[in-house]
Structure 1
Amino acid sequence: MYKRYLSLKKALLLVFCVGSTTFMYYMVVLPDDSRWADKSVRQFETPAVQIRVKRETHASKESLFSFVADYFKSTTSEPDNFESTPKDPDHAKPTPKEPWNVKTTPKGPDNAKPTPKEPCNAKPTPKDPDNAKPSPKETDNVKPIPTEQDDGKETGCSCDKHTAKEPNDIKHTATKAATLSERKRTAVIVMTSMRSGSTFVGEIFNQHPEAFYIFEPIWALENNKDKTYNSPKFQFEWLRSLSDCRMEGVQDILKFYLTAKGLGVMATCNAVDGLCAKYRNYTSKWPGRCPIPDETMAKVVGNACQSKRFTAIKTIRLEDTEPLQKIAEDGGINLKVIQLVRDPRGVIASRLALVQHNVSVMTNLHNKVDENEVRQLCNWMTRNKPTSHGSNSWLQKHYSLLRYEDFGRNPIGLMKKIYELVDVPSHINVTKWLLTHTKTSKKIKERRDPFGTKKDPEKTMNEWRVRLSLEDVQKIQSICKEALDMHRYSFVTSESELKDTSKNFHGPNVSLLDIK
């Protein structure tokens, strides 16, 4: 009993001493150390140094608590001590968790399974090391199927398969869309008669940078040394090849078209001239019109054609729409046919004016109205119209009418309608060209050029009233009554009407550019 009293007394004395020492430390020493530590921390700039200084300043507190804990362990190691004494400090401090972990260590084989799960749970905290490992796996899984078999999880496999299929489907769809867009190439064919303003209208395509413009391709068939080319069969083959940019099989015609002297393709087709310019030798005396090698000409021209958004063809030598019907029925070409017509009185007057320049593309020069020529012109104007049934019923979906007089009165507005028809955005180059070429040129040479494009269309479309006599006008009207009625042109009944400039014989705008 006495021994027990002494041990209790020693314990109380020790507690008192330790408590006093602790009280003095917290009241005197620790505030000075804390102030010094705070001051020291503020002096350092780097975060790593600041953390180290804080740890060193608080090391004394940890050592004091460890000293007290060790002493209590030594004094309470006897069997007479209470069991609750060691438990209180153990639960109060983080140190007693170690004996709990020691107890769980024998369950190592059981805990071995959850331990690999800890890195999975720890992913949110150490993002850099954990994500660094799966990141290459993710990139591997995005690739084709081999990595799908390596992944054992169902969720991973299903996700990988899904992500692998999506790019393939997108690529497949894009490939189909590209193939469809290539097959459905738009081709615009402006068919008209001589001296109907076709050169002027053709320039609205020639000035567009995305147009592959072809000027009078049938001329190459009519003037080729091989006369067998001048037939409806080759008209179809030649126009179809130009429309869908497949030049194989028409190399002979293509070479003649690009290199012949008479037509002057390079002066009228911007896209073709730009292509041929890449092959010319400008250091020689004769650089050549279009010196593309014969063996590669079809491929080179075809690729240049495909690089443009659409094909535009202007021709005055297409008497019938039969070759165009076969092209329209070809599922690979989106064909648009624009029939450009002009008042036959204006057409005949313009042809007669060529005699003054000793120029004519007709068989013979003549300065009088030729009835056969007038009849041929007006028959062409009437027989190539779309019908609800019969041979021309197919034109309903492909045909548009453009009157030269309507275009002359509103060139910008009808130009925009034409590009809406083609489903291609217009270009500023076209607008600029129209603004500079719809006024009479100040140069005498350009004004006298019968094939010039710098003219006032509104003035030009009324010149026939000065150039033709009343007798000539009435002769044309008698032959072309059906054509005049069909296209809404008014008749002249007297000399005074013919000379009256305020009289309008063209009526309102009747161009049918909105026909689908």
Structure 2
Amino acid sequence: MKMRSKYAIILFFVVALVIIEKERNIISRVSDKFTLKFPHVESVAPNNTISARSLMKNNSLFTNSVAAIWKLLKAQRNYTSLQGAASSDGMKGLKGRKHLLLMATTRTGSSFVGEFFNQNNDIFYLFEPLWHVEKTVTFEPGGMNAVASSIIYRDVVQQLMLCDLYTLESFLFPMADRHLTGILFRRGSSKSLCEGEVCTLPKKGGSERFPCRRSNCGLLNLTLATQACLQKQHVAIKTVRLRQLEFLRPLLEDFRINLKIIQLVRDPRAVLASRMVAFPSKYNAWKKWANEGRVPDEEEVGKIRGNCENLRATAQLGISQPPWLKDRFLLMRYEDIALEPVKRAQEMYHFSGIPMTPEVKKWIYENTQVSKGSNNIYSTHKNSSEQFEKWRLALPFKIARVVQQVCEPAMKLFGYKLVNDAVTLANRSASLLENRNFWIT
């Protein structure tokens, strides 16, 4: 019963966010779309999900409960955040604190670029914290999917920017025990969660060890992580799960958050080539076309078109610099970063208003000049100037041509040249980049 109550609270929490958005006409439709993927709960569907509709049949109960539950959740977060900040120097970083959001899509080099900020000891860096939200909360296919998920993701990011790491507990399964968890996704990719007091010693003889890059830590204590975040000067988050810039406006207008947004893009032909290697099952139709000549159906092509259009729309909004976004948005191409990593890192740091440290420069020098034998597709250790165009030798021209057809508006905006034949595609001496300066002063 206690577990069911927790799930009901999460459901009400999400819908309450919609109410706060003043999207009252969305509520009934969102309730049909929203599901929670938690096992071992009564009345679950065959896929281990609970429908929001089944929990909101009693409309009056729902209406009367939302406000109270929202206040309770807010009070709980304020209380735990204050606990985390209780130490004498716990609020050290608030004055002059900068917040940075690195927005990208999968296989665009975001893990590599994220390290530019992860290596700065003054920054509390989180790697893909929305992974748990995506795995816990899902939406049935439909037009409301993008709206509802964007609202949830945005509000989780808002709390994390304020160092409220407890907000992740609502999306962890198994649930955290006394704010302790051993399942945080890719914890080892965030230095801030693997150093100092946050890296507690594992229990002797126990199996509760969490591998970080330089040491084995015990279970992650979210209270200690919250305190560590408050003690850092700045906060940065890297995510591939936020796609629509317009939904982030409340964060940019939140006086507590001094937010800058960097959108990272990459040639969509390169992205597809990389995804075909990294996620073969998801891109099986394209691999079959390359190997067997089976043309993907319109749905597969439509996914590529939709991804490119989302990127184009977000970038166009950012470049247009509406008042609420003025001097808060920067578009960066992965290819430019790969060619001149130090220069581009300096530009991003200048834009964010955060000093670039010697440790960052050292990491860049050491991790962009790797031997040719390094083939790990997930590695951030690469000879960046040689690696970023290897896809041109592997992607069949017939696939590249389809990507060009459906992504042409985005490619023109980002400055990626189209090719007319396989010879030009494979000729790496012919640049596919137009000279563009997306830096906004």
If the length of structure 1 is used for normalisation, what is the TM-score? 0.57
> Do the aligned partners of residues 411 and 463 (structure 1) sit closer, same or farther apart at CA in structure 2, a change above 3 Å counting?
same
Is residue 2:275 matched to residue 1:348?
no
Q: Is the 8 A contact 2:193 2:199 kept in 1?
A: no
Q: Trace 1:175-324 onto structure 2 (pairs within 5 A).
A: 182=94, 185-224=97-136, 231-247=149-165, 250-253=168-171, 259=181, 261=183, 263-265=185-187, 267-274=188-195, 278-289=199-210, 291-292=219-220, 297=222, 299-324=223-248
Is residue 2:336 matched to residue 1:409?
no
Q: Is the 8 A contact 2:182 2:220 kept in 1?
A: no
SS of residue paired to 1:189 = strand
Whole-Å separation in 2 of the counterparts to 1:262 and 1:303: 17
Q: Is the 8 A contact 1:198 1:314 kept in 2?
A: yes
* Amino acid of the structure 2 residue aligned with 1:201: V
* Amino acid of the structure 2 residue aligned with 1:191: M
Whole-Å separation in 2 of the counterparts to 1:454 and 1:438: 6
Among 401, 409, 422, which residue is 1:482 paired with? 409
Query: Which of 1 and 2 has higher RCO (CA within 8 Å, sep 6+)?
Result: 2
Q: May I ask how many residue pairs the two structures share in their alignment?
A: 325
Aligned residue in 1 for 2:356 = 426
> Do the aligned partners of residues 394 and 496 (structure 1) sit closer, same or farther apart at CA in structure 2, a change above 3 Å counting?
same
Aligned residue in 2 for 1:51 = none
Whole-Å separation in 1 of the counterparts to 2:359 and 2:256: 29
Query: Deviation at 1:400?
Result: 0.2
Aligned residue in 2 for 1:448 = 375
Q: Is the 8 A contact 1:216 1:314 kept in 2?
A: yes
Query: Deviation at 1:270?
Result: 0.6
Q: Is the 8 A contact 1:212 1:310 kept in 2?
A: yes
Query: Deviation at 1:457?
Result: 2.0
* Amino acid of the structure 2 residue aligned with 1:185: R
Aligned residue in 2 for 1:472 = 399
1:439-491, CA deviations, whole angstroms, 9 ceiling, x for partnerless residues?
2335x4xx231101121222222122211122111111111110111011111
* Amino acid of the structure 2 residue aligned with 1:346: A
> Do the aligned partners of residues 222 and 285 (structure 1) sit closer, same or farther apart at CA in structure 2, a change above 3 Å counting?
same
> Do the aligned partners of residues 232 and 225 (structure 1) sit closer, same or farther apart at CA in structure 2, a change above 3 Å counting?
closer
Which moved further from structure 2: 462-471 or 201-210?
A: 462-471
1:293-332, CA deviations, whole angstroms, 9 ceiling, x for partnerless residues?
6xxx3x4322210111111111111121244211111011
Whole-Å separation in 2 of the counterparts to 1:500 and 1:424: 39
| Higher share of residues assigned helix | 1
Whole-Å separation in 1 of the counterparts to 2:191 and 2:316: 32
Whole-Å separation in 2 of the counterparts to 1:478 and 1:201: 28
Aligned residue in 2 for 1:63 = none
Give the aligned CA root-mean-square deviation in angstroms: 3.3
> Do the aligned partners of residues 287 and 395 (structure 1) sit closer, same or farther apart at CA in structure 2, a change above 3 Å counting?
same
Aligned residue in 2 for 1:438 = 368
SS of residue paired to 2:102 = strand
Query: Deviation at 1:288?
Result: 3.8
Whole-Å separation in 1 of the counterparts to 2:358 and 2:382: 20
Whole-Å separation in 1 of the counterparts to 2:327 and 2:232: 24
Query: Deviation at 1:184?
Result: 5.4
SS of residue paired to 1:311 = strand
> Do the aligned partners of residues 352 and 388 (structure 1) sit closer, same or farther apart at CA in structure 2, a change above 3 Å counting?
closer
Q: Is the 8 A contact 1:406 1:511 kept in 2?
A: no
Aligned residue in 2 for 1:394 = 324
Q: Is the 8 A contact 2:245 2:318 kept in 1?
A: no
1:95-131, CA deviations, whole angstroms, 9 ceiling, x for partnerless residues?
xxxxxxxxxxxxxxxxxxxxxxxxxxxxxxxxxxxxx
Stretches of structure 1 lacking an aligned partner (at least 5 in a row): 1-177
Query: Deviation at 1:352?
Result: 1.1
Percentage of pairs with the same residue = 27
Query: Deviation at 1:192?
Result: 0.6
SS of residue paired to 2:332 = strand
* Amino acid of the structure 2 residue aligned with 1:217: P
SS of residue paired to 2:308 = helix
Q: Is the 8 A contact 2:264 2:331 kept in 1?
A: yes
Larger CA Rg, structure 1 vs 2:
1
Q: Is the 8 A contact 2:367 2:381 kept in 1?
A: yes
> Do the aligned partners of residues 449 and 338 (structure 1) sit closer, same or farther apart at CA in structure 2, a change above 3 Å counting?
same
> Do the aligned partners of residues 388 and 346 (structure 1) sit closer, same or farther apart at CA in structure 2, a change above 3 Å counting?
closer
Aligned residue in 1 for 2:48 = none
> Do the aligned partners of residues 373 and 467 (structure 1) sit closer, same or farther apart at CA in structure 2, a change above 3 Å counting?
farther
> Do the aligned partners of residues 511 and 309 (structure 1) sit closer, same or farther apart at CA in structure 2, a change above 3 Å counting?
farther
Which moved further from structure 2: 223-232 or 378-387?
A: 223-232
Aligned residue in 1 for 2:440 = 515
SS of residue paired to 2:115 = helix
1:423-446, CA deviations, whole angstroms, 9 ceiling, x for partnerless residues?
22111111111111112335x4xx
> Do the aligned partners of residues 393 and 260 (structure 1) sit closer, same or farther apart at CA in structure 2, a change above 3 Å counting?
farther
SS of residue paired to 2:419 = coil
Aligned residue in 1 for 2:47 = none
Query: Deviation at 1:227?
Result: 8.0
Q: Trace 1:118-133 onto structure 2 (pairs within 5 A).
A: none
* Amino acid of the structure 2 residue aligned with 1:515: I
* Amino acid of the structure 2 residue aligned with 1:238: V
* Amino acid of the structure 1 residue aligned with 2:208: P
Whole-Å separation in 2 of the counterparts to 1:227 and 1:291: 31
If the length of structure 2 is used for normalisation, what is the TM-score? 0.66
Whole-Å separation in 1 of the counterparts to 2:346 and 2:165: 31
Whole-Å separation in 2 of the counterparts to 1:489 and 1:195: 17
Q: Is the 8 A contact 1:188 1:311 kept in 2?
A: yes
> Do the aligned partners of residues 292 and 483 (structure 1) sit closer, same or farther apart at CA in structure 2, a change above 3 Å counting?
closer
Query: Deviation at 1:222?
Result: 1.1
